[in-house]
Amino acid sequence: MRSVFRDFFLERLRADVGDQTGEQLDIAVSWGRFAELFGFDGRTDELFLER
């Protein structure tokens, strides 16, 4: 399983999205999970790809 911490994306998106970065990332994570593109572990704040 490959994973990336949520903060990785927050740091990279902040310059373009600004104050709404967290909200926009939450929306993207919700849609990505819904489409089964990746998973998210809320305990560790990690996005991951499942095999």
**Is pLDDT above 70 for 48?**
yes
Structural domain for 39, as ranges: 2-49
**Is pLDDT above 90 for 51?**
no
Question: Is this structure's pTM higher than 0.85?
Answer: no
**Is pLDDT above 90 for 1?**
no
Q: pLDDT tens digit string along 2-38? A: 899 999 999 999 999 999 999 999 999 999 999 999 9
Query: What value, to the nearest 5°, has the Cα angle with vertex 4 and ends 26 and 15?
Result: 55
Number of domains in the chain: 1
- Looking at residue 50, what is its pLDDT? 77
Fill in the DSSP letter of residue 50: -
For residues 44 and 40, give the distance between their C-alpha atoms in angstroms, rounded to a whole number.
9
Fill in the DSSP letter of residue 19: G
